[in-house]
Amino acid sequence: EPEVTQTPSHQVTQMGQEVILRCVPISNHLYFYWYRQILGQKVEFLVSFYNNEISEKSEIFDDQFSVERPDGSNFTLKIRSTKLEDSAMYFCAGRTGLISPLHFGNGTRLTVT
Q: Which of 11, 64, 106, 111 binds another protein (CB under 8 A)?
A: 106
Measured from the CB atom, the residue of 17 and 100 that comes closer to another protein is 100
Give the single-character DSSP code of 29. Answer: -
Q: Can you give the length of the chain in residues?
A: 113
Q: Which of 21, 29, 32, 35 binds another protein (CB under 8 A)?
A: 35
Q: Which of 93, 94, 110, 112 binds another protein (CB under 8 A)?
A: 93
Measured from the CB atom, the residue of 75 and 91 that comes closer to another protein is 91
CB 76 within 8 A of CB 70: yes
Residues 56, 62, 63, 67: what is their CA dihedral angle, to the nearest 10 degrees? Answer: -40
Give the single-character DSSP code of 15. Answer: T
Asked whether position 54 contacts another protein by CB under 8 A, the answer is: no
Helix (H) or strand (E) holding 48: strand 43-50
Of 42, 49, 80, the residue nearest 62 (C-alpha): 80
Q: Which of 30, 45, 69, 96 binds another protein (CB under 8 A)?
A: 45
**Interface residues with another protein (CB under 8 A)?**
31, 33, 35, 41-45, 48, 56, 58, 89, 91, 93, 98, 101-102, 104-107
